[in-house]
Chain A
Amino acid sequence: MSFDAAFQNQNFKSVGTRPLRPDGVDKVTGRARYGADFNMPGQLVARVLRSPHAHARIVAIDTARAAAVKGVKAVITAADLPDLSNGDKALFNILDNCMARTKAMYDGHAVAAVAAIDEKAAKQAMKLIDVEYEVLPHVVDVDAATEPDAPILNDAVFTTGIDPAPTTASNVANRSEFGHGDVEAGFADADVIVERSYRTEQTHQGYIEPHACVASCNPDGTADLWVCTQGHFVFRQNCADLLGLEVSKLRVTSSEIGGGFGGKTHVWAEPVALALSRKAGRPVKLVMSRDEVFRASGPTSATSIDVKIGATKDGKITAATATLRYSNGPYADIWAELGAMTSFACYDLKNVKTVGFEVLVNRPKVAAYRAPSAPMAAFAVESAIDELAQKIGMDALDLRIRNAASEGTRSSYGPVYGPIGIGPTLEAAQAHPHMTAPLGTNQGRGMACGFWFNFGGQTCTDLNVNADGTVTLAVGTVDVGGSRASLSLVAAEELGIDYQDVKAVVADTGTLGYNDMTDGSRGTFSSSMATISAARNAIAVMRQRAALTWDIPVEDVYWEDGHAKAAGAKYGNLAPLSVKEIAAESGNTGGPIAGHSELVADGAGVSFATHICDVEVDPETGATSVIRYTVIQDAGKAVHPAYVEGQYQGGAAQGIGWALNEEYIYGEDGRLQNPGFLDYRIPVCSDLPMIDTQILEIPNPNHPYGVRGVGETSIVPPLAAIANAVSNAVGVRMSHIPMSPPRILAALSRQKGE
């Protein structure tokens, strides 16, 4: 049945309200089961041995002594995960990252793993695995890795995207370029030019729940995996590919997920746990420690970015360029490319050019982190925009409004925009009382804009109408922040029933068709589209059942306010049938009533936000406190506004941590020095003020209710907003994130000429 996803304006009854979430009671009583909260009979405990070296050839691994420890049931190395990638470079990189094959590429890279009857035996065995390393020179800094004398991580990597193709190996895996116009001519037309280099340090998604899974490989070739993941269908595919399993025989159940933010879109521990289970012939539970989470999972890129922007005296930008170097970890990806695409996406520019370089370093493989790569690029560009405004003598908000992209603008990354929300968020900022509130001593105000692509993707949903008229909704996108509530609202809205009568669950891979990862802010956007489609299909069935009950043609039955109604005066004496009434008769009208939906939820539409922030900087210590923060973002339609606000607030808080505190610190030896929450300090309750939000609702034309994804964009503006606020407070341009107290003190003393 074809599905029309076009926006249709309507008065909502359920959508837009704030009911209690269906998983709330489980989560406040401790009953919700996360990755580490599941157990199986005869389950073993797994531990992973990790490289202490940033870069080392693995000469030999002897596991004999470890395997002989009483209670140890399996010890594996890369030899137990044979290479089945068959030329698929991306798959090979996943495999090599799960278990180092010939070289350990970073401090924390897995080299072997043990499964034993208890933790004590596993730990003892770990100490008895003999690994002979040949330590190699390493490089962890994004700029140092591009120097001609830098140690080369991978002899087979030659920079792609440059002409002529190079003949020597490099740590720069790829060069990408975006833009249009003639930037040289544009700079020649400029009255004022700002040019500056910026750096941001590597951060981690910082989800509170470490990666955890229980894997069980059976002798008949079937396997089960219980895991905290943002995408159990994708994990199933990755694990099946890596272990040579049939996809249908591997059943993956997603547990409750204790935070992901992009970090749980990649497999790490799961193939290792499956390989251990296969070798031991018993279920295996693998829970990463916090130290392992920091050293071996997650992080985002460290970056080094050069920005140049020119404008006329009256504030029209004539040209803009950015050169972005992003660390990738040991495996080439597209992180700088994403930065290069998003850098100037907020602006309408005649001449723009961005160039991205993917840089390999001896750090963990970079994983997506909420609007991946965009916050760093926005930090550099939005800082330069502020500086430009100061040089011209123009209000920074006015400068942004003057140059904001709008419908018909050719974006810096290529396509021409449809209706977009950057202008309205800027105008809302201009009208917001925050912008004119008085500031005290040592205080400064900053603002910044942010952009992110949102995604849809492959989505499958089942909606079953039970005999009592209640509805069970099975979705395949993982609930990372309240989507079971929002999807229940959508089902209730479409069917015309009460929210309380819908129960949403996240189905496992054995009970629902394929769903893409819950990423790209797509959870509510795409699964609500599939839910609407499934509900409409169920309504079609219920109209047929009503027609049978009344013995009239189905064409004469229409659906309104949760009831089947007979059309026309000739049926005037037929009372409308409710969902409950139709469901009660279902056994005699054709059996169970259900609506299914399989679709590609494209048309997510790009997303924009504007943030305003006030800070106070202590000139004695260099410590910065955020004293007021406002998020303004377009949601299209906020299905459950409380959880939309929650996304805005959470993204802002993560950005505040990134801007002020969080960074990976490596020693000269290439080892991570702060793999714990004590030294890698994420914002705590006393660090933050209340975070005010303003939800704009500019309907997305490509969703029946106008919904847009809201999860990611809120982390894009904070780095720049806070940097602009700090720079305004102390009178020095801060160009290195995080603006930790030592960096602010150093900037203050440079300013004084000390």
Chain B
Amino acid sequence: MSSIAVSTTINGDDVEFLCRADETLLDVLRNRLGLLGAKEGCGTGDCGACSTIVDGRVVCSCLVLGAEAEGRTIETIEGMANGSELHPLQAKFIEHAALQCGICTPGFLIAAKALLDVNPEPTEEEIRYWLAGNLCRCTGYDKIVRAVQDAALEMRGERA
């Protein structure tokens, strides 16, 4: 099977890669580009550990083909911090102990960022439904929801 040449934008950088037709975007990120932050928890789009943002939408990168990245803009966890400055969501996840084992954390951060990008003032219910595609087995979600709420507050500049 011959490979497909793909030109795309990942975390603001132009990236070119070759992949087979049946390779997922997750496989490409992890195995070809060394971007190991997205995790494979299920491979069937059920757990959200591989969440990435493609053209502004959260997707499970295990359900997207690598070849579909052509011409698109992709955001992964590796691009979330600005150099050594953490994104407010990243900082708040640590501050609120919103992670235990941390395997789901990259996916939650990506999904939460996509939420705050479109809805800077989500209610608890909106947060819970938006994040319902991301599984966490350690925390019971309580501290994750609080971290997102607090990050939203900070990003709106409404902190006391």
A36 to B133, CA, bound (A): 22
- Known contacts A30-B106, A482-B97; A646/B139 CB under 8 A: yes
Q: Report the nearest B residue to A652, measured CB to CB.
A: B140
Query: A residues engaging B (CB < 8 A)?
Result: 18, 20-21, 23-25, 27-34, 36-37, 120, 205-210, 256-261, 287, 289-290, 480-482, 640, 642-643, 645-646, 649-650, 652-654, 676-678, 682-688, 690-691
Q: Write the nearest CB–CB distance from A366 to chain B, whole angstroms.
A: 19
A205 proximity list for chain B (CB < 8 A)? 137
B38 proximity list for chain A (CB < 8 A)? 30
Mask: chain B, 80-94; 1 = CB below 8 Å from A; 0 = not: 110000100011011
5 more A-B contacts (CB under 8 A) besides A29-B78, A650-B140, A652-B140? A30-B38, A207-B137, A210-B41, A645-B97, A677-B41
B39 proximity list for chain A (CB < 8 A)? 34, 36, 208-209, 258
B77 within 8 A of A: yes
Mask: chain B, 126-148; 1 = CB below 8 Å from A; 0 = not: 01110111111111111111100
Judging by beta carbons under 8 Å apart, are B139 and A650 in contact? Answer: yes
B103 within 8 A of A: yes
Task: Identify which of residues 100-139 in chain B touch chain A, using a CB-to-CB cut-off of 8 Å.
Answer: 100-106, 109, 125, 127-129, 131-139
Judging by beta carbons under 8 Å apart, are B44 and A678 in contact? Answer: yes
A625 to B49, CA, bound (A): 25
Judging by beta carbons under 8 Å apart, are A685 and B80 in contact? Answer: no
A30 to B41, CA, bound (A): 14
A21 proximity list for chain B (CB < 8 A)? 94, 97
B103 proximity list for chain A (CB < 8 A)? 34, 207-209, 256, 258-259
Judging by beta carbons under 8 Å apart, are A29 and B137 in contact? Answer: no
- Known contacts A31-B37, A258-B102; A206/B43 CB under 8 A: no
Judging by beta carbons under 8 Å apart, are B140 and A649 in contact? Answer: yes
B16 within 8 A of A: no
B102 proximity list for chain A (CB < 8 A)? 23, 27-28, 32, 256, 258
Judging by beta carbons under 8 Å apart, are A20 and B94 in contact? Answer: yes
B70 within 8 A of A: no
Q: Please name the 4 residue pairs, one residue from A and one from B, whose CB atoms are nearest each other, closest first.
A: A30-B37, A258-B103, A653-B140, A27-B102
A691 proximity list for chain B (CB < 8 A)? 140, 142
Q: Report the nearest B residue to A687, measured CB to CB.
A: B132
Judging by beta carbons under 8 Å apart, are B100 and A643 in contact? Answer: yes
B37 proximity list for chain A (CB < 8 A)? 29-31
A29 to B36, CA, bound (A): 10
B43 proximity list for chain A (CB < 8 A)? 289-290
A654 to B44, CA, bound (A): 22
Q: Write the nearest CB–CB distance from B83 to chain A, whole angstroms.
A: 11
A688 proximity list for chain B (CB < 8 A)? 128, 140-142
Partner of A481, one of B76, B100, B144: B100
B69 within 8 A of A: no
Judging by beta carbons under 8 Å apart, are B138 and A481 in contact? Answer: yes
Judging by beta carbons under 8 Å apart, are B100 and A261 in contact? Answer: no
B68 within 8 A of A: no
B30 proximity list for chain A (CB < 8 A)? 36
- Known contacts A480-B100, A685-B132; A29/B143 CB under 8 A: no
Q: Report the nearest A residue to B138, measured CB to CB.
A: A650
Judging by beta carbons under 8 Å apart, are B129 and A686 in contact? Answer: yes
A29 to B109, CA, bound (A): 9
B47 within 8 A of A: yes
Most buried by A among B37, B76, B138, B146: B138
Task: Identify which of residues 1-60 in chain B touch chain A, using a CB-to-CB cut-off of 8 Å.
Answer: 20, 30, 35-44, 46-47, 49
Q: Write the nearest CB–CB distance from B59 to chain A, whole angstroms.
A: 17
Judging by beta carbons under 8 Å apart, are A677 and B47 in contact? Answer: yes
B95 within 8 A of A: yes
Number of interface residues of B (CB under 8 A): 57
A-B Cβ contacts below 8 A, count: 179
Q: Write the nearest CB–CB distance from B144 to chain A, whole angstroms.
A: 7
Partner of B137, one of A20, A682, A687: A682
Q: Report the nearest A residue to B34, measured CB to CB.
A: A39
B99 within 8 A of A: yes
B144 proximity list for chain A (CB < 8 A)? 685
A290 to B37, CA, bound (A): 18
Judging by beta carbons under 8 Å apart, are B100 and A208 in contact? Answer: no
B143 proximity list for chain A (CB < 8 A)? 642, 645-646, 649
- Known contacts A28-B109, A685-B141, A685-B145; A259/B101 CB under 8 A: yes
Q: Report the nearest B residue to A45, measured CB to CB.
A: B31
A289 to B104, CA, bound (A): 16
Judging by beta carbons under 8 Å apart, are A29 and B104 in contact? Answer: no
Q: Write the nearest CB–CB distance from A290 to chain B, whole angstroms.
A: 4
B97 proximity list for chain A (CB < 8 A)? 18, 21, 482, 640, 642-643, 645-646
Q: Report the nearest A residue to B100, measured CB to CB.
A: A481
A252 to B16, CA, bound (A): 36
Partner of B105, one of A28, A120, A652, A682: A28
What are 26 A-B residue pairs whose CB atoms fall within 8 Å in the complex?
A: A18-B97, A28-B91, A28-B102, A28-B106, A29-B90, A30-B36, A33-B36, A207-B101, A207-B137, A208-B39, A208-B136, A209-B103, A258-B39, A259-B103, A290-B46, A482-B97, A482-B100, A642-B96, A642-B97, A646-B139, A653-B139, A677-B44, A678-B46, A685-B145, A686-B132, A688-B140
A395 to B100, CA, bound (A): 37
Judging by beta carbons under 8 Å apart, are A646 and B78 in contact? Answer: no
Q: Write the nearest CB–CB distance from B46 to chain A, whole angstroms.
A: 4
Q: Report the nearest B residue to A33, measured CB to CB.
A: B36
A230 to B46, CA, bound (A): 25
Q: Write the nearest CB–CB distance from A8 to chain B, whole angstroms.
A: 28
Q: Write the nearest CB–CB distance from A294 to chain B, whole angstroms.
A: 10
B109 proximity list for chain A (CB < 8 A)? 28
A678 proximity list for chain B (CB < 8 A)? 44, 46
A482 to B35, CA, bound (A): 25
B137 proximity list for chain A (CB < 8 A)? 205-208, 259, 261, 650, 653-654, 682
A287 proximity list for chain B (CB < 8 A)? 40
A333 to B145, CA, bound (A): 40
A208 to B30, CA, bound (A): 17
Q: Write the nearest CB–CB distance from A587 to chain B, whole angstroms.
A: 33
A20 to B78, CA, bound (A): 21
A509 to B70, CA, bound (A): 45
B96 proximity list for chain A (CB < 8 A)? 642
A297 to B129, CA, bound (A): 30
Q: Write the nearest CB–CB distance from B7 to chain A, whole angstroms.
A: 23
B99 proximity list for chain A (CB < 8 A)? 24, 27-28
A261 proximity list for chain B (CB < 8 A)? 137
A741 to B90, CA, bound (A): 37
- Known contacts A20-B94, A30-B77, A646-B139; A684/B132 CB under 8 A: yes
A209 proximity list for chain B (CB < 8 A)? 39, 41, 101, 103
Partner of B95, one of A20, A34, A37, A257: A20
A248 to B137, CA, bound (A): 35
Q: Write the nearest CB–CB distance from A608 to chain B, whole angstroms.
A: 20
A16 to B136, CA, bound (A): 26
Q: Report the nearest A residue to B105, measured CB to CB.
A: A27
B138 proximity list for chain A (CB < 8 A)? 259, 481, 646, 650
Q: Write the nearest CB–CB distance from A676 to chain B, whole angstroms.
A: 6
A650 to B100, CA, bound (A): 9
A688 to B93, CA, bound (A): 19
Judging by beta carbons under 8 Å apart, are A676 and B78 in contact? Answer: no
Q: Write the nearest CB–CB distance from B70 to chain A, whole angstroms.
A: 22
B135 proximity list for chain A (CB < 8 A)? 208, 677, 682, 684
Q: Report the nearest A residue to B94, measured CB to CB.
A: A24
A209 to B70, CA, bound (A): 29
A691 to B141, CA, bound (A): 9
A645 proximity list for chain B (CB < 8 A)? 97, 143
Judging by beta carbons under 8 Å apart, are B94 and A28 in contact? Answer: yes
A205 to B30, CA, bound (A): 26
Q: Report the nearest B residue to A653, measured CB to CB.
A: B140
Judging by beta carbons under 8 Å apart, are B100 and A29 in contact? Answer: no
Q: Write the nearest CB–CB distance from A359 to chain B, whole angstroms.
A: 27
